[in-house]
Amino acid sequence: MSDKETNKNTSRSFFSKLKESVSGASTRVTSNFFDFIGKNKIDEELIDDIETHLIMSDVGIETTEIIIDQLKKESNKNIKTIKDLKESIKEIMLTILEPVDIPLKVNTNQKPFVILMVGVNGSGKTTSIGKLSGLLSAQNKTVMLAAADTFRAAAVEQLEIWAIRNQLEVISQETGADPGAVSFDAYASAQSKNIDILMVDTAGRLHTQQGLMDELIKIKRILNKQASDSPHEIMLVIDASLGQNALLQAIKFNEALGITGLIITKLDGSAKGGIILSIANELKIPIRYIGIGEKASDMQKFDRYQYVDALLNNSDPKT
């Protein structure tokens, strides 16, 4: 089997899992989403039903209002059939997601290209680092990991397991060491070894823990002193199953650090896959990757077409 065929099959497999996660396994999102529509005429009651479905799937009140307002405008002139209605909802969602469907671009002229990984406890941050480091290594880029989560010995061990799997070097210090010092040493080591990408793991923290948030700001400042444009990416990992709380976390982390990219994990554990639309509408922060499981292949680049088709239980747009 060729690499092209392998990649296509992987994409299909990921789409199937994504579809099951955000639509097929979720009566809240779809039921299937359009099953009930087929039994109704296009009227105000139907639009109200769609609005209820969107809110229950955690699209959020503000984002739902945007979708419904646009639907009502379209229904007066362009929506004549149920097929038109489906296409209109899809196009509205794609428009909302377009500004955030921006893949991560690593500038290897900026060596090391520094990715600062942040998030709350349990969001899947360290696991995401492991998966992402594997994806980047597969692109023939050299990657180094910095274990700046010095509060949990298990975090370092977890990072080292991924490093062994992906054949990467980890820079770490003893438990309780200064995370800023680890970041400083890791940057110096990556620079001396001409490493393409340095990924810095940090301790999980709630957005309400100001002392720990200040620590992240300190790490950012230390990296910035080593290179004026560093860190080049501040990646927030958020848990989709938290729904609107995930949005609140993203808002607070962005206010403190200036988040440049998002990884949205645990869509497989959420019956509320619509949270991505809410985050996209309210924050406009690029969504780099989404995760739907524990395997390395269960994290892929965010694709708005694939996501919307999965959410609305459509066929694979890639086939």
- 54-108 pLDDT, tens per residue? 888 888 899 999 999 998 888 777 787 778 888 899 999 999 999 999 999 999 8
Q: Using one digit for the tens of pLDDT, what is the confidence trace for 78-88? A: 787 778 888 89
pLDDT of 269 reads 62
At residue 254, does pLDDT exceed 80? Answer: yes
d(CA 214, CA 298) in angstroms, rounded, equals 32
Cis peptide before 32 (omega within 30 of 0): yes
The letter for the amino acid at 261 is: G
Within a 10 A sphere around the Cβ of 3, how many other Cβ atoms? 7
* DSSP state for residue 100 in the 8-state scheme: G
* E strands in the chain: 113-119, 143-148, 169-171, 197-202, 233-239, 261-265, 287-291, 299-301
Nearest 5°: CA angle at 157, between 151 and 163? 125
Q: Predicted confidence band at 285 (pLDDT cuts at 50, 70, 90)?
A: very high
Report the share of the chain in percent with pLDDT over 90. Answer: 48
| Tokens 């009502």 -> residue | 72
At residue 130, does pLDDT exceed 60? Answer: yes
Cis peptide before 286 (omega within 30 of 0): no
Q: Please, which residues bridge with residue 300 across strands? A: 290
| Of the candidate ranges 198-202, 257-261, 310-314, the one whose mean pLDDT is the lowest | 310-314
At residue 303, does pLDDT exceed 70? Answer: yes
Q: Are 266 and 124 in contact (CB under 8 A)?
A: yes
Strand duo 299-301 + 287-291: pairing: antiparallel
At residue 316, does pLDDT exceed 70? Answer: no
Strand duo 169-171 + 197-202: pairing: unpaired
Q: Predicted confidence band at 317 (pLDDT cuts at 50, 70, 90)?
A: low
Residue 67 burial (C-beta neighbours within 10 Å; 0-12, 13-18, 19+): buried
Both tokens of 59, joined, read 């699209």
Domains defined for the chain, CATH in brackets: 3-100 (1.20.120), 113-303 (3.40.50.300)
- Whole-model pTM above 0.85? yes
pLDDT of 314 reads 72
Give the distance from CA 51 to its chain's centroid. Answer: 25
Task: Find the mean pLDDT for residues 296-316.
Answer: 83
Q: Predicted confidence band at 25 (pLDDT cuts at 50, 70, 90)?
A: very low
At residue 11, does pLDDT exceed 90? Answer: no
Q: Using one digit for the tens of pLDDT, what is the confidence trace for 183-235? A: 999 999 999 999 999 999 998 776 666 777 889 999 999 999 999 999 999 99
CA 187, 190, 191, 192 torsion-angle sign: positive
Average pLDDT, the chain: 84
